[in-house]
Amino acid sequence: MELRPCGTTGLRLSVLGIGCWEFGGSDYWGPQSQAEADAVVRRALDLGVNYFDVAESYNDGRSEECLGRAIKGLGRDRLAIGTKVSPANTAPATLVEHCEASLRRLGTDYIDLYMIHWPITPRNVPPGAPVPAAADAFAALRRLREQGKVRHVGVSNFGVVAMAEALGLGVAPAANQLCYSLLSRAIEFEVLPFCRAHGVGVIAYLALMQGLLTGKYRTLDEVPPLHRRTRHFDGRQSGTLCRHGEPGAEAEVNAALAAIREIGRESGLSMSDLAIKWAIAQPGMACVLAGCRTPQRVEENARATAAPLAPEIASRLSAATDVLKAKLGRNCDYWEAAANDRTRSA
């Protein structure tokens, strides 16, 4: 599988990365056995995947623990592990403690890519909690890198203001991990061009839009309520813990999915193949994540990386989702209304 440079700090990631949020099991994703996670990691490595993505917050640390058990004895230098610290935990002493805790759960002595999960802003820490200073957080990250506990520093969900601030602090992030798919293209307005211009690799998350871009749901009504919280869905529906309160874009999503299905029929490619190939084809994309709970999913998604998408099909796919892109707008936070966009700094 192709390895791509991620940013300018020497990090190289496979174009497909395995999202491990599902590892450890949860109400959100359902159960996941250790044996299944072990098989996912082994199959992924066999197929040339080197990047595995977790966060301290995923399943209260169980995702990191599960990944740590799965990689035992497989050869640490074959793997690049990315994990994330929550913004509330970025005051220097706390950051060091949380990094050590992630290392323990992962059963390793270094993290390849250590990311701040969201910008360090009042919106992204619990109400009333102190907001750590970004300068102190990045200085602490630099020390962790000097000590070899962290190989590369990264960020996630950082809009352009937070990115510019981070770049000014002397610890250039190798990566910005962002929500990006055919159905969630807001980063194309500003953040993706900014990352490209500044040599920051982009890692796309939710590239399969949690299954919507795989054809596994025949209608939007089949999407489980907990996964129906993004701005694609009517935020005024009850019982889904939806926070954004906006009307949703069901008609545009359905039209986009119908057009993608048609392109798939004509080109002989599955919807997940198209979604992964399209994301990989976008300039600036270092790695595209897919959540995989079984080795079969790894195989299906790895297959999509074997040959690039014809430029003509890529353009047709983009055209098929332009109306949805315009409807959902520049807000890169798909779970909140624009006024509460957590990727913005003010």
Ligand X SMILES: NC(=O)c1ccc[n+]([C@@H]2O[C@H](COP(=O)([O-])OP(=O)(O)OC[C@H]3O[C@@H](n4cnc5c(N)ncnc54)[C@H](OP(=O)(O)O)[C@@H]3O)[C@@H](O)[C@H]2O)c1
Range 42-46, long-range pairs (CB < 8 A, 24+ positions): 42/70, 42/74, 42/295, 43/295, 43/298, 43/299, 44/18, 44/292, 44/298, 44/302, 45/74, 45/78, 45/79
* Window 274-293: residues binding ligand X (CB under 6 A): 289-293
Q: Does 300 bind ligand X (CB under 6 A)?
A: yes
Pick 93 or 201: Cβ nearer ligand X: 201
Residue with tokens 């190939």: 277
Can you spell out the DSSP letters for 107-166? T-S-EEEEEESS-SSGGGS-TT-----HHHHHHHHHHHHHTTSEEEEEEES--HHHHHHH
Interface segment toward ligand X; rule CB under 6 A; list 14-22, 218-226, 245-253, 308-316: 14-22
Under the criterion CB under 6 A, does residue 123 sit at the interface with ligand X?
no
Binding mask 161-190 for ligand X (x = CB under 6 A): ----------------x-------------
Cα(346)–Cα(341) distance, rounded to whole angstroms?
9
Q: Is 58 a catalytic residue?
A: yes
Per-residue tokens: 218: 């025949």
Applying CB under 6 A, among 169, 211, 240, 250 the residue interacting with ligand X is: 211
For the CB of residue 314, give the shortest distance to ligand X in the complex, in Å: 19
157 contacts ligand X (rule: CB under 6 A): yes
Cβ pair 344, 161 in contact under 8 A? yes
Shorter beta-carbon distance to ligand X: residue 108 or 176: 176
Interface residue with ligand X, options 206, 223, 285, 309 (CB under 6 A)? 206
Using CB under 6 A, which of the segments 43-51, 162-170, 202-210, 319-327 binds ligand X?
A: 202-210
Minimum CB separation from ligand X for residue 114, in Å? 13
DSSP class of residue 310 equals: P
Strands 201-205 and 285-291: parallel
If one asks whether residue 297 binds ligand X (CB under 6 A), the answer comes out as: yes
Report which of 106, 97, 104 is spatially closest to residue 67, judged by C-alpha positions.
106
State the residues that interact with ligand X by CB under 6 A.
19-21, 53, 156-157, 177, 205-211, 214, 216, 272, 289-293, 297, 300-301
Q: Which residues are annotated as catalytic?
A: 58
